[in-house]
Amino acid sequence: MGVNRQWRLARHPEPTEDIGFEHFELVESPIPTPDAGEFVVQTLALGTSPAQRSYISKSLSMHDKIAIGDVMRGRGVGVVTESRNSNYQTGEIVISSTGWQDFSIQAPALQNPNVLSIQKVVAPIFPLTMTLGILGAAGATAYFGLFDVGCLQAGDTVVVSAAAGGIGSVAGQIARIAGCRVIGIAGGPEKCQWITEGLGYDCAIDYKSESVGERLDELCPSGVDVFFDNVGGEILDSVLGRLALNARVVICGFIATDYREDLNQGPRNYKNLVRKRARMEGFFIFDYRHRFQEAEGRLRNWYEDGLLLNCEDVDDGLEQMPGTLGSLFTGGNKGIKLCRVSPDPG
């Protein structure tokens, strides 16, 4: 009988604590066998999201909680290794809620409405990590956030926060492809150099060593048309104070304040939304699941045309997973943070 390694929750992190190995326990159990209607998936790669922190934190969140001793929830790409469901054949590639483990049971009839459904990868592109990254949820989040919520137009001045992170690195590239002027806010000189020289951002602001407000005044004298915000807090406030007429502020995430009740204050500069006839709107990528193919198609074309760089940052081995997730909160990632669990088939 084969072994299934699983990362299970060992304890909840405190709000000010970094996420790390001490919050999880690596356990070995038998590879599961499917009941009627189910199939088994071997995980090939796992994605990450800052939201995963809220699954394991004690505070209230919009996500279902994971109990101590449960396998950590996460979305991955994998291969079907055994099936008792005629719609899923052995060898097929799927994206699903695999969890942090080598093998998972997938039960299409019992899909949790709070997780994205099982998705077949009909035309795989390699490496398969791309199906979780630029061609997957990260790419789709950047795409719908910019076009549907941000109503992106050629010629717009676009600012992206966490610009060297997963969604930010795709958002900046899409805005550049769409003919916008793009300014990225990122932590540290290396990331700022990478987004300008590697990803084609026009300018970068290092929020760790520069005043974001002063730099925005220099770089955007006519104001910001679209702000794609992954961060919240002080950075959101700085940009709100510098909006152009009819600006669109796209609230994608708020990693700077999400887990810190003491920092979780509302924006001070929101009154500028009235003065500038601007709009601030949040969105949730699950609401776009019926349109993922549209995003994937356009992102794939841009990638194949050499316009969009596959900016992924991949750790190797399931045993790395707590550190892989933890790196999002310390700025340890450059691009879309993923973990390879097993080699791609073939």
Ligand X SMILES: NC(=O)c1ccc[n+]([C@@H]2O[C@H](COP(=O)([O-])OP(=O)(O)OC[C@H]3O[C@@H](n4cnc5c(N)ncnc54)[C@H](OP(=O)(O)O)[C@@H]3O)[C@@H](O)[C@H]2O)c1
List the structure tokens of 186.
């990122």
**Which CB, 103 or 288, lies closer to ligand X?**
288
**Which CB, 35 or 281, lies closer to ligand X?**
281
- Vertex 256, ends 252 and 259: CA angle to 5°? 100
Smallest distance, Å, CB 6 to ligand X?
A: 23
Smallest distance, Å, CB 74 to ligand X?
A: 12
Smallest distance, Å, CB 70 to ligand X?
A: 21
Smallest distance, Å, CB 63 to ligand X?
A: 11
Q: Please provide the DSSP assignment of 4-26 as one string.
A: EEEEEE-SPPPTTSPP-GGGEEE
Smallest distance, Å, CB 1 to ligand X?
A: 36
Smallest distance, Å, CB 8 to ligand X?
A: 23
Altogether, the residues listed in the chain come to a count of 346
How far is 224 from 227, CA to CA, in rounded Å?
A: 7
- Classify residue 161 by its DSSP letter: E
**Which CB, 127 or 335, lies closer to ligand X?**
335
Smallest distance, Å, CB 328 to ligand X?
A: 4
Smallest distance, Å, CB 47 to ligand X?
A: 8
Written as one letter, the residue type at 7 is W
**Which CB, 212 or 243, lies closer to ligand X?**
212
**Which CB, 40 or 146, lies closer to ligand X?**
146
Q: Where are the alpha helices (DSSP H) in 27-113?
A: 51-56
User: Which phi and psi angles does 178 have, rounded to 5°?
Assistant: -80, 0
Contacts with ligand X by CB under 6 A lie at 49-51, 138, 141, 162, 164-168, 186-187, 191, 230-231, 252-256, 283-285, 328-329, 331, 333, 337
Smallest distance, Å, CB 259 to ligand X?
A: 10
How far is 322 from 250, CA to CA, in rounded Å?
A: 29
Helix 292-304 and helix 166-177, axial crossing angle in degrees, nearest 10: 70
Rg (CA), the chain: 20
The closest of 52, 57, 5 to 31, measured between CA atoms, is: 5
CA 162 to chain centre: 11
**Which CB, 41 or 164, lies closer to ligand X?**
164
- Vertex 165, ends 184 and 325: CA angle to 5°? 160
Written as one letter, the residue type at 174 is I
List the structure tokens of 64.
């279902």
**Which CB, 127 or 145, lies closer to ligand X?**
145
CA 200, 336, 288, 303 dihedral sign is: positive
**Which CB, 87 or 209, lies closer to ligand X?**
209
User: Do the beta carbons of residue 272 and residue 246 sit within 8 Å?
Assistant: no
Cis, peptide link before residue 127, omega less than 30° from 0: yes
**Which CB, 121 or 328, lies closer to ligand X?**
328
